[in-house]
């Protein structure tokens, strides 16, 4: 039987501001059930709307900020699950070629998908054959989700944020100079603005501070390089850390594992 490891929960908050940007080793699928706020994902800004369905690939930096009550279903599952369930005719793993997919569902489709999420979340594990039925229920949910992505692969961009267009250029600048020394002064000078104004518009548009964005981006890039077998010291320098111990400490804080252990575990798993 296929391993269908996943975590699913329904969350509700009067308002929601992620304490910090983050990323996962798993794929995240999110169904929004209310309006209001923005979702910053992979250098793009998406509106939080009822019926908005997101697929966020592993190791993609994201952060959500909701203005009002925020209700959603959140599903996490390893990329390997999508690969194992894929067939030549029905390839779920093909959707992982993009960092993020986002579509807006109509009311009827949202209601049907909400019901399927509920069935998976509240599945009865005690009956005969429950393990097989659980896999079938989860697989049916995935097929419904990806069928909708297959039909409607459109990514709407949030409107009404006057800072974001200017911040987009700053995001590109940071990405293009990630291995170099980046300071608030240097970035502000490049865009001919006051560094305090830079901090304000960047935070307002993305939900990130400039420096926390840079640090998270460097750790994500380091994660990629460690998977190639590069030495930790080389990776530290390649992604712009000036101090190797600072890199090791920061990587551990954001991923929960040291760079060396991360590389060893990935390369060992890859060989197996």
- CA angle, 20 then 193 then 156, to 5°: 50
For residues 218 and 59, the answer to whether their CB atoms sit within 8 Å is no
pLDDT of 271 reads 43
CA 269 to chain centre: 23
Residues in CB range of 52: below 8 A, 6 or more apart: 31, 32, 46, 102, 103, 104, 105
Residues, the chain = 272
157 vs 8, higher pLDDT: 8
Helix, strand, or coil here: 84? Answer: helix
Question: Is pLDDT at 36 greater than 90 in this prediction?
Answer: no
User: Which residue intervals of 122-178 are DSSP H helices?
Assistant: 130-151, 164-176
Greatest CA separation for the chain: 68
6 vs 14, higher pLDDT: 6
Q: Which residue has the tokens 């090791």?
A: 248
Question: Is pLDDT at 15 greater than 60 in this prediction?
Answer: no
Question: What tokens does 253 get?
Answer: 């804080």
Distance, in Å, from the CA atom of 39 to the CA atom of 65, rounded to the nearest integer, reads: 6
E strands present in the chain: 7-13, 16-17, 27-32, 38-41, 44-47, 52-56, 62-66, 70-77, 100-104
153 vs 187, higher pLDDT: 187
64 vs 188, higher pLDDT: 188
Q: How many helices (H) and strands (E) in the chain?
A: 10, 9
Strand partners, 66: 16
Mean pLDDT score, 52-80: 89
Confidence class of residue 269 from pLDDT cuts 50, 70 and 90?
low
Strand partners, 41: 44, 62
Helix, strand, or coil here: 27? Answer: strand
Question: Is pLDDT at 1 greater than 60 in this prediction?
Answer: no
pLDDT tens for residues 150-173? 988 655 555 556 667 778 899 999
Strand partners, 32: 72
pLDDT of 21 reads 63
Tell me whether strands 7-13 and 38-41 are parallel, antiparallel or unpaired: unpaired
Question: What tokens does 14 get?
Answer: 């009067």
pLDDT of 164 reads 77
Confidence class of residue 272 from pLDDT cuts 50, 70 and 90?
very low
pLDDT of 194 reads 94
Confidence class of residue 219 from pLDDT cuts 50, 70 and 90?
very high
pLDDT of 2 reads 58
């Amino acid at each position: 039987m296929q391993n269908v490891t996943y975590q699913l929960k329904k969350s509700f908050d009067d308002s929601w501001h992620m304490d910090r940007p983050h990323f996962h080793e798993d794929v995240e699928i999110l169904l929004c059930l209310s309006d209001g706020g923005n979702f910053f994902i992979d250098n793009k800004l998406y509106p939080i709307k009822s019926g908005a369905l997101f697929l966020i690939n592993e190791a993609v930096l994201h952060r959500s900020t909701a203005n009002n009550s925020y209700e959603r279903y959140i599903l996490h599952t390893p990329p390997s699950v999508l690969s194992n369930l894929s067939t030549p005719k029905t390839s779920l793993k093909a959707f992982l070629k993009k960092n993020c997919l986002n579509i807006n569902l109509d009311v009827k489709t949202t209601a049907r998908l909400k019901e399927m999420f509920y069935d998976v979340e509240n599945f009865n594990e005690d009956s005969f054959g429950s393990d097989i039925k659980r896999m079938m229920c989860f697989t049916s949910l995935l097929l419904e989700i990806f069928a909708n992505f297959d039909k409607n692969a459109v990514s709407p961009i949030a409107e009404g944020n006057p800072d974001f267009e200017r911040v987009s250029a700053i995001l590109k600048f940071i990405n293009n100079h990630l291995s170099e020394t980046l300071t608030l002064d240097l970035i502000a000078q490049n865009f001919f603005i006051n560094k305090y104004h830079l901090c304000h518009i960047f935070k307002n548009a993305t939900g990130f501070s400039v420096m926390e964005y840079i640090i998270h981006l460097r750790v994500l890039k380091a994660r990629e390089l460690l998977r190639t077998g590069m030495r930790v010291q080389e990776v530290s320098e390649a992604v712009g850390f000036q101090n190797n111990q600072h890199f090791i400490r920061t990587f551990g804080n954001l991923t929960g594992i040291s760079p060396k252990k991360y590389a060893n575990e990935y390369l060992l798993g890859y060989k197996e």
